[in-house]
């Protein structure tokens, strides 16, 4: 689902409010959820114990909300939204983030993000701070599951010999 036209930092201000693209689907299973629980020290039964979770309110284990949020750079890249005149991106943080619905793992779940450019702030040397809104959906679940505003600081590509 790559962008039909490459994104450029130099055009970013003209794209504010416009759709950037839709990411590829990413498959997540219980093994990945368990690993995320281990590395974040949040291995709770509602996320990592399918037998326990079957008896709970949701009928199955849940994807950690932060697991989905950690996929934002993947979503951004898989949709072809990395500026071709930018390099060495830095995670600058998040603004508004809302986990709107629980995402049940079951036999696995697929996520993707629809993105739009919310802001493009010029910085020194042609660098930009971009704010991209992500509407993350889970296949088979109606509506948006997670909304996040992701900020990335982009360095302008230096021309050869500069």
The domain spanning residue 122 has which CATH number?
3.10.129.10
Specify if 54 maps to a domain: no
User: Residue 1: which pLDDT band, with cuts at 50, 70 and 90?
Assistant: low
In a domain, 35, yes or no: no
- 75-102: per-residue pLDDT in tens? 999 999 999 999 999 999 999 999 999 9
Give long-range contacts, CB 8 A cutoff, 24+ apart: 28-34: 28/63, 28/67, 28/105, 28/108, 28/109, 28/110, 28/111, 29/105, 29/107, 29/108, 30/61, 30/105, 30/108, 32/67, 33/61, 33/63, 33/64, 33/67, 33/105
Domain assignment present for 38: no
pLDDT at residue 91, rounded to an integer = 96
Domain count, the chain: 1
Q: Does the residue 61 lie in any domain?
A: no
**Domain membership of residue 123 as a residue range:** 12-27+66-156
User: Would you say residue 124 lies in a domain?
Assistant: yes
Partner residues linked to 27 by β-bridges? 110
């Amino acid at each position: 689902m790559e962008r039909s036209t490459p994104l450029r930092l130099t055009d970013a201000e003209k794209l504010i409010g416009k759709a950037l693209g839709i990411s590829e689907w990413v498959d997540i299973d219980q093994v990945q959820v368990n690993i995320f629980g281990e590395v974040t020290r949040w291995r709770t039964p509602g996320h990592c114990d399918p037998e326990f979770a079957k008896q709970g309110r949701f009928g199955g284990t849940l994807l950690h909300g932060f697991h989905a949020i950690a996929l934002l750079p993947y979503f951004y890249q898989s949709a072809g939204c990395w500026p071709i005149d930018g390099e060495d991106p830095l995670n600058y943080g998040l603004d508004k983030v809302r986990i709107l619905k629980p995402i049940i793992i079951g036999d696995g779940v697929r996520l993707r993000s629809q993105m739009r450019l919310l802001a493009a702030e010029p910085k020194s040397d042609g660098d930009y701070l971009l704010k991209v809104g992500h509407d993350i959906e889970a296949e088979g679940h109606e509506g948006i599951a997670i909304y996040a505003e992701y900020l990335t600081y982009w360095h302008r590509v230096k021309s050869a010999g500069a």
